[in-house]
Chain A
């Protein structure tokens, strides 16, 4: 057994807190942006316009078949050429995760929309609602409610995946632990601390999702 010195946790806490705050901010931004963009993609995939539907499914399938690390590297490389100026790792991470997660939220929303009985659409249209109104007021609210556990599970996955911004050096929880480990020359203790934080958050979230799922079944 190696010698551990966990007293290093205390002085590193401010560091870790900043890293965790970035991780949470990245998760929330990518979640909200990803769900909005994903819903639009889902509508595009279900649209009768073949061109639009194909473009959306090409985007979604591409994102889903390449490793996230590679997507992170791709965006970090390409964004400066598109915007004409270099962007920081943090901004790049936010854009990447929103775009990447949108593909996954899209598939969830698509399943949710397709799960709504056709009778609901017919009923809404019989009341004189336009197809946009039907989608916004009748179909989407039900789809989101039915898919809530899956959307949340995907968000837990997203939260874990944010650790991969390590690849471009964005200062998230894992990077903070990494840096603190180097500063105090206690890398092992700091990895353990970050693992405990990740586990505590993911485990409590997944218990919460199970509760919501149970309530939904009743």
Chain B
């Protein structure tokens, strides 16, 4: 089979519209970034909370944390997307469900961001938990011996150290969020992968389309990685190598 190359395709107008294909890709990039950042913010907050719960001396709280992690870790992300999009509105009281299905603004975006945020939160929680558990027991003892309450000990002594330790694994989770946001195309979020499929069908220049989209995903990964590296450098503790020990 022969392939007709056309690298100028990006500046062409889409069929039946006055946008160019470049506009489509720009829109796609915008939604990819929006879904990823919203999900990441949610994942960080929830993940730190759940990861902390799993290290507490309270049995019910620790079990709740464990159940959370198992639930979101043992279902494919795409299936989770469908569950949030199609099934959850059915579980709500009738009026709410109808509102979610018909009237909720940016329904696809919110569903995708919540789904990806919860999915990622279980992975962040596991990192945070192992970060806390990797600290010497003496740190907790020292904090308590000075009269700190348990929340104070976590807030001032354990979490600041544990979070520094888990920046490297969180960096790859952050990069994963951008990759995983591509699954949102399945519920109609107009992000990069969605636009790639649309542009391929519309323009019939699949290879050029995918090359461009691949490069855009690469850029997201690099920027995410550099961003986390800056945070890591800023939070480094003098005298410690790589913020560990």
Contact pick for A67, options B74, B90, B93, B180, CB 8 Å = B180
* Closest partner residue, chain B, to A189 (CB atom): B87
A70 within 8 A of B: yes
**Bound form: Cα–Cα A89–B64 in Å:** 40
Does the CB pair A70–B79 fall under 8 Å? Answer: no
B205 to chain A, nearest CB (A): 11
Contact pick for B196, options A70, A188, A191, A198, CB 8 Å = A70
**Bound form: Cα–Cα A2–B87 in Å:** 9
Does the CB pair B87–A69 fall under 8 Å? Answer: no
**Bound form: Cα–Cα A195–B185 in Å:** 19
Does the CB pair B78–A206 fall under 8 Å? Answer: no
Annotate A164-180 by CB proximity to B: 1 below 8 A, 0 otherwise.
Answer: 10110000001000000
Does the CB pair B193–A70 fall under 8 Å? Answer: yes
**Bound form: Cα–Cα A191–B82 in Å:** 7
Q: Which residues of B contact A203 (CB under 8 A)?
A: 70, 74
Q: Using C-beta atoms within 8 Å of the partner chain, give the interface range for chain B.
A: 35 or more
**Bound form: Cα–Cα A4–B214 in Å:** 41
Q: Which residues of A contact B74 (CB under 8 A)?
A: 198-199, 202-203, 206
Knowing A78-B207, A191-B79, A191-B87, the reply to whether A67 touches B182 (Cβ < 8 A) is yes
Knowing A1-B93, A70-B210, the reply to whether A192 touches B186 (Cβ < 8 A) is no
Contact pick for A69, options B82, B89, B182, B218, CB 8 Å = B182
Chain A residue total in the interface (Cβ 8 A): 35
B190 to chain A, nearest CB (A): 15
Knowing A1-B93, A70-B210, the reply to whether A166 touches B186 (Cβ < 8 A) is yes
A213 within 8 A of B: no
Q: Which residues of chain A from 173 to 218 have any CB-CB distance to chain B below 8 Å in the complex? A: 174, 187-188, 191-192, 194-195, 198-199, 202-203, 206
Q: Which residues of B contact A2 (CB under 8 A)?
A: 89-91, 94, 97
16 further A-B pairs in the complex, CB-CB below 8 A; given A65-B217, A199-B74: A2-B89, A65-B218, A67-B178, A67-B183, A84-B1, A160-B75, A166-B78, A167-B186, A167-B197, A174-B76, A174-B79, A191-B79, A191-B87, A202-B73, A206-B70, A206-B74
Q: Name the 7 nearest CB pairs between A and B, nearest first.
A: A2-B90, A67-B182, A202-B74, A160-B76, A163-B76, A67-B179, A69-B182
B interface list, Cβ under 8 A from A: 1, 3, 70, 73-79, 82-83, 86-87, 89-94, 97, 175, 178-183, 185-186, 193, 196-197, 200, 206-207, 210, 213-214, 217-218, 221
6 A-B residue pairs with CB within 8 Å: A70-B193, A74-B210, A78-B207, A191-B87, A202-B73, A203-B70
A interface list, Cβ under 8 A from B: 1-2, 4, 65-70, 73-74, 77-78, 80-81, 84, 160-164, 166-167, 174, 187-188, 191-192, 194-195, 198-199, 202-203, 206
